[in-house]
Each structure stands twice: as C-alpha cells, then as structure tokens.
Amino acid sequence: MIESTVDRKTRKFRELNFYDQQEENQYFLLPFRFHRLNDAKEVLVNEVGDHLVASAGTVQLLVSKQLSKIEYPELYGDLIANFFISEEQIPPLIDLYATRYRTKKSFLDGFTSLHIFVISLRCEHTCHYCQVSRVTQDKGTFDMSLEHIDKGIDLMMRSPSQFLTMEFQGGEALLAFDNIVYAVTRAKELAPAFGKEINYVICTNLALINEEMLGFCKENSILISSSLDGPSYVHNQNRHRPEKNSYEMTVKGIELSREILGKDRVSALMTTSNLSLEYPVEIVEEYYNQGFRSIFLRPISPYGFAVKNERKNKYETEKFLSFYKKAFARILEYNFSGEFFSEDYATIILRKILTPFPVGYVDLNSPTGAITNVIVFNYDGSVYASDESRMLAEMKDYTFKLGHLDTHSYEEIFYGEQAQKIVQVGTNESLPGCSDCAFQSYCGADPIHNYATQGDMIGYRPTSSFCHKNMEIIRYLIELMDSDKNIEQIFQSWVKQRT
Amino acid sequence: MVKDGEILVFADFNLYSKDAVFKCLYWFGDKFHTGVSFIDSNTYCISLRPLSIANVNSDDLELYLQKLERDLIDYQLRDTIARETQNIRDLLVAKAFSNGEFDEDPPGDVSDPVGFNPNLASV
C-alpha cells in the first residue's frame, strides 16, 4: 500500500532531475529555420514563429550535436522550451505544439471575410499612380448596378465566416453614395437571418463628404478609410484635382468625419510615390500633426508603372527600404519621447513575431489571402481574387477573374478551377526560396504580385521585390529588438490591442 | 577560386547534398550563370559566371566567392535539419489539422490538493 502511494502519478512539480530526459548527451532536432541577421548574430525560427537570436555559429553547433547542456545551460534551456530541440524523439508536448500551429493558421477557419464592392469606377481626382478610375458622369457604365449589389450581397451571406467586412471602394465611392445606402440597408436587413455580424468601411478621398453622408455613417457604424499622402506639397502632387486642393479637402474631411463619427472611426492610408520617397520624415510628421497615432508606410504598388521589370523593381525596392527606415527612425523618436505612434506594416509583422495569433492581412498570409480572405466584386459584376487582380484587369489582363455575378455560382467562384490554381501556388511553405526561409511564418505568398511583376504566379525570389522588401523589413525589426530592449518594449506596446 | 572572371568552387559529394547545392545556387541566379558538374565521382564543380546585365565588378567576385562558400554550408545545415525533422514536422501538421482525435491525455493524474477533483467535476 505504501508503495502504491509513492508511485501515484501526480502533476505536481518534481525535483529538477526528474525533468532531465537526456540520455548520453543526446538531443533531437525539431523543425526550424535560420537566417544570418548580421556578422555576429543569427536568428532561429521554429515552426510556429517563435524566434531566438543567438551568436553566429550556434546552428552549426546545434546540428552537429555538440551543444552541451552543461556548457550552455541557458541557451540549451531556451532551445528546449521553444521547441527547437527535444530530449525525446517525439517531444512530450507535441499536442500543445500542434495546437499552437493550428492557432497560427486559424485565419483559414472563417474563409473569405473581406468583401470589396467597387461601387463606382468614377472619380473626380486624376491621381497619376491610379490605373483604374474614370473621370466621367456616365453612371450607367461605371457604377455598380443594384442588381449586382444584390447578387454580391447574396454571395457574401454564403461566406462561412460569422464576421464579415463589407468595404466600398472606387473610383471615388462617395460618387455613388445612394448605392452605398442601398447596399448597407440591404446587408443589414439580411445579416440577422444568416447570423452575420458585418463591419462596413467606405474608402474615400473625402472631397465629397458632407454632414448628411456622415449622419448615415454614424447611424450604421460605418468606418471611414481616407487617403493622406503627406504634407500638401506631396499630397497635391500625387492626387490631382483641377483646383489643386486635394490636401485641403482631405484635411477638412478628416476633421468633419472625426467630429461626427469620433476620432477612432476615421483612418488614413498613404501611397508611396517617387516623390514621397524624398520626404519620409515630413510624411510621418504630417500624420502626427493631423492627430493620427499610426501610419501605414505602404510600399509602391507594382501595378502600372513597374510591372514586369525586375531590375527596376529591385531599384525601387532599395529606395523604398531606405525611405522606410528613415521614416521608421522618426516614428521611434516619437515613442522614445513618450508618445504612442506605430507603423502599421511593422505592427502586422510584429504580431506574427511576438504573439501566438494569426493576422488576417491579405498580403502576408500563407495560404494566400486572395480568395481565402478577400474577394472583389467589380463595378461591372466581374469577380476578382483581390483588389490588385481587378487593377490588372483594367490593364486588360483577366488572369485573376474568377467569374461574374450574373453567370457564376458561389461554388464556381470560390472553389472553381481558377481559384484552386491560385491558392495552390499561394503557399510559401512549398514555394522555391520560401520553403527554407527563416521568415516564412512571418511572411506570406502573393501569386498575384508574382504574376504582375515577374510574369508567373510562382515567381522567382532572387529578383522578387515582394521577397526583397519583406526579408529586409523582418530582418531589420528583429535586429532592432535585439539591439535595444527599449525598442522591444515599444514593439510590444504596438502589438497589444488598444482600446 | 576566381579564375578568368568566373567563380569556381569544388565541393565534396559526401559532404554536400545535391539539394543543398541547388538550393544555394538558386539565390545566385539573378546575377550569375550558374553551373554544376561532377569532375570525378566524389567532387562537384560549381561555377558562377556573371550575367552581362548584372554589373558585377571583378573586384566583387572575391566577395561573392566568400558568400557562396558560406551559403553552401548554411544550405547543407538546412538540408540536415530538414531531413532529420521531416517526420516530426509531418506529425505536427497532421495533428494540427486533425480534430483532436489523435491527441493523447497529458501524463499523470490531475492531483486534488484542496479536495476539488476536476476529473469528477467534468463527468
């Protein structure tokens, strides 16, 4: 009886040596990837995105099975605790590890959640980087018909996701405000019957916004996503209006929108043009001065001016990275002086690095966010795999057209041959150059970008601007965190959900 | 070595796998014509010849040689890790996308130091 009491299994902590499972200095490698951070350091990243920065040569020591627990107790402990090595062939906590892997991929559970309605292609701006919009009064040709709005909403209601986002884009979406009112009213009517909770977003340059429109937005909890490219001398050059007053109208629109909807209901996005590259600090300061506490330093879009020109892309990416780092330094200065101010692209990547959760950002998902996360209903009823796909279509390339609202069923659009083809090449775990990359779990696959810039959906990483940009930004963020613990604290504050 | 404007590296077949060599050379394809051949049954001959449009100076070739040698080692390490961990990775992914039917209970009983038996409570 005494013996059975002693043998009784318990989950209380045992003596330290109980947990030492090592036999004859043996350990087993678990799947991980590594990257040289700089001459002195390398970073190891495991299958769920946990990272460990170590001295150069650590991986060599590890793989040759010469890492001694006695000699490097702290490093050895970190490697065990973070699933880089195991003292048993199958780690005892493999089910926990599998759960973490499942959590990282849980963005797939809801399938398509973001539904973009290109409510009108008409616009009163003539921005030089926009390949899409038309300056015209022809509503019949360039506005989405009520019939197509109905059909788009019907497809949206079939999404497996409980939480949906219905985003109205243009052209200038507010030119078809009546149609937005119609669409929101109908979606709201149908949502309870389908068990959906819908967020509504209007993307607008704010030139046409007025109190009546904002009243409707307030009533229906609609978010406003505007465009601000920087100070007036950058914004007005990028965003042409005959009156040359786009900046003034945007700023006025932001103020009015904040007044009626509340500050947190109005956001702004910038597009980096060649001109913007000369003003990284000024652009950040403009956002700060306009009361924003974050900025999305969006890379130059390859659609239009740099398509299928690999060398030019590489040059443009170098210039963008230089711009990004200068702007980022100014952002960190605000944080060091006690102000919260974050960069959105870094925050997306940092959430992947520092938290166990996935981030539903279309461009950095694997499998690709196109189709599995976002779908676009174009003004003419055509359905596209992403916003970029419809931009290619405006350049007469219909590779990513999945069907039409008049002629194709939900199954044909979302599970059809073309959709399968796109998603199949949109998994970075199996792409050349990506499959061994340490930053795989922080990055994504973008077959549409590959196609647009390199001519095929799989792409070629050594000349890929997508790869070049993401590799360097991820490396830079990890290096910054490793070099200064205060920066890591700042980054931690960015990834926490702010209320 | 660097010879006649070309980088040549000899690698032992027993030390470097074919996968490691090709995965390493993949990343040089934007600047170089890449070549791999056997000079005997145990030795690879790896060559890198600059693309005419790549603007690689002859002074840079030594740096690229160093990078190639370093990358070959790194890709061999990656290959070793991939081979050693393939089964556990497959198991991990299979478990992650199963519905928990293959999960095992954690070892040991849940103890009951304060008289609340969670095993009974769940019945």
For residue range A127-167, list pLDDT tens digits in order. 776 766 666 666 678 899 999 999 999 999 999 999 999 99
In B, which residues are within 8 Å of A98 by CB distance? 92, 95-96, 103
Q: Kindly give, in sequence order, each residue whose CB lies less than 8 Å from that of residue B74, ignoring residues fewer than 6 positions away.
A: A34, A36, B24
Please check whether residue A396 touches B, CB under 8 A. no
In B, which residues are within 8 Å of A9 by CB distance? 107-109
Which of B74, B92, B95, B117 to probe the A interface (max A CBs under 10 A)?
B92
Q: How far apart are CA A279 and CA A317, in angstroms?
A: 16
Please check whether residue A433 touches B, CB under 8 A. yes
The string of pLDDT tens digits covering residues B19-52 is 999 999 999 999 999 999 988 889 999 999 999 8
Smallest Cα–Cα separation from A51: which of A67, A72, A35, A68? Answer: A35
Give the 3-state DSSP-derived string for A34-50, with helices as H, strands as E and coil as C: EEECCCCEEEEEECCCC
Please check whether residue B82 touches A, CB under 8 A. yes
A392, A400 contact by CB (below 8 A): yes
Please check whether residue A476 touches B, CB under 8 A. no
Q: What are phi and psi of A199, to 5 degrees?
A: -95, 140
Please check whether residue A432 touches B, CB under 8 A. yes
Inspect the interface and report whether the beta carbons of B96 and A10 lie closer than 8 Å: no
Candidate from A10, A95, A310 with C-beta closest to B95: A95
pLDDT value, residue A131: 65
Please check whether residue A29 touches B, CB under 8 A. yes
What are A381's two structure tokens? 């009823």
Inspect the interface and report whether the beta carbons of A31 and B88 lie closer than 8 Å: yes
Give one DSSP letter per residue of A221-240, joined into a string.
TEEEEEE--SSHHHHHHHS-
Q: What is the distance in angstroms between the CA of the first residue and the CA of the last residue of chain A? A: 57
ipTM over 0.90: no
Which of B88, B91, B93, B109 to probe the A interface (max A CBs under 10 A)?
B88
Tell me the shortest Cα–Cα distance from B79 to chain A, in angstroms: 9
Confidence of residue B117 (pLDDT cuts 50, 70, 90): low
Per-chain mean pLDDT for chain B: 86
In A, which residues are within 8 Å of B78 by CB distance? 33-34, 436
In B, which residues are within 8 Å of A108 by CB distance? none
Place of tokens 């946990």: A50
Smallest Cα–Cα separation from A339: which of A414, A288, A271? Answer: A288
Smallest Cα–Cα separation from B26: which of A68, A480, A467? Answer: A467
Q: How far apart are CA A455 and CA A459, in angstroms?
A: 7
pLDDT value, residue A331: 98
Tell me the shortest Cα–Cα distance from A265 to chain B, in angstroms: 37
The single-letter code of the amino acid at A36 is R
Tell me the shortest Cα–Cα distance from A32 to chain B, in angstroms: 7
A135, A126 contact by CB (below 8 A): yes
**Per-domain residue ranges of chain A:** 18-104, 270-368+427-499
Q: How far is CA A79 from its chain centroid?
A: 29
Q: How far apart are CA A115 and CA A200, in angstroms?
A: 10
The string of pLDDT tens digits covering residues A363-408 is 899 999 999 999 999 999 999 998 888 888 888 899 999 999 999 9
Q: How far apart are CA B37 and CA B47, in angstroms?
A: 9
Inspect the interface and report whether the beta carbons of A31 and B96 lie closer than 8 Å: no
Inspect the interface and report whether the beta carbons of B81 and A97 lie closer than 8 Å: no
Ramachandran region of residue A71, left (φ > 0), alpha (ψ -120 to 50) or beta? alpha
Place of tokens 């599995």: A372
Candidate from B27, B80, B95 with C-beta closest to A98: B95
Place of tokens 């940009």: A469
Q: Is the pLDDT of residue A313 over 60?
A: no
Least confident of A185-199, A250-264, A356-370: A356-370
Share of chain A above pLDDT 90, in %: 71
Please check whether residue B53 touches A, CB under 8 A. yes
Per-chain mean pLDDT for chain A: 90
Q: CA triplet A425, A428, A433: central angle to 5 degrees?
A: 105
Q: What is the distance in angstroms between the CA of the first residue and the CA of the last residue of chain B? A: 72
A20, A80 contact by CB (below 8 A): no
Name the percent of chain B in helix, strand, coil, to the closest 5.
40, 20, 35
Tell me the shortest Cα–Cα distance from B49 to chain A, in angstroms: 16
Inspect the interface and report whether the beta carbons of B92 and A94 lie closer than 8 Å: yes
**Per-domain residue ranges of chain B:** 2-96
Distances (CA, A) of A27 to A64, A80, A91, B75, B123: 11, 9, 11, 21, 40
Tell me the shortest Cα–Cα distance from A93 to chain B, in angstroms: 8
Q: How far apart are CA B66 and CA B72, in angstroms?
A: 10
Distances (CA, A) of A395 to A79, A362, A400: 50, 22, 12
Inspect the interface and report whether the beta carbons of A94 and B77 lie closer than 8 Å: no
- Region B78-95: mean pLDDT is 95
Confidence of residue B121 (pLDDT cuts 50, 70, 90): low
Inspect the interface and report whether the beta carbons of B28 and A462 lie closer than 8 Å: yes
Which of A5, A29, A458 to probe the B interface (max B CBs under 10 A)?
A29
Please check whether residue A98 touches B, CB under 8 A. yes
Largest CA distance in chain B: 82
Q: Kindly give, in sequence order, each residue whose CB lies less than 8 Å from that of residue A56, ignoring residues fewer than 6 positions away.
A: A36, A39, A40, A41, A42
Please check whether residue A377 touches B, CB under 8 A. no
Tell me the shortest Cα–Cα distance from B2 to chain A, in angstroms: 23
A272, A299 contact by CB (below 8 A): yes
SS3 B45: strand
Inspect the interface and report whether the beta carbons of B107 and A90 lie closer than 8 Å: no
Inspect the interface and report whether the beta carbons of B81 and A311 lie closer than 8 Å: no
Q: Is the pLDDT of residue A7 over 70?
A: no
Tell me the shortest Cα–Cα distance from B95 to chain A, in angstroms: 6
Beta strands per DSSP E along chain B: 2-3, 6-12, 32-40, 43-50
Q: How far apart are CA A314 and CA A469, in angstroms?
A: 9
Q: Is the pLDDT of residue A2 over 50?
A: no
Candidate from B26, B81, B97 with C-beta closest to A102: B97
Q: Which residue of A has its CA nearest to B95?
A: A98
Place of tokens 């990282």: A104
Residues across chain B: 123
Give one DSSP letter per residue of A285-347, joined into a string.
HHHHHTT-SEE--PPPP-TTTSTT-HHHHHHHHHHHHHHHHHHHHHHHHHHHTT---EEHHHH
pLDDT value, residue B106: 63
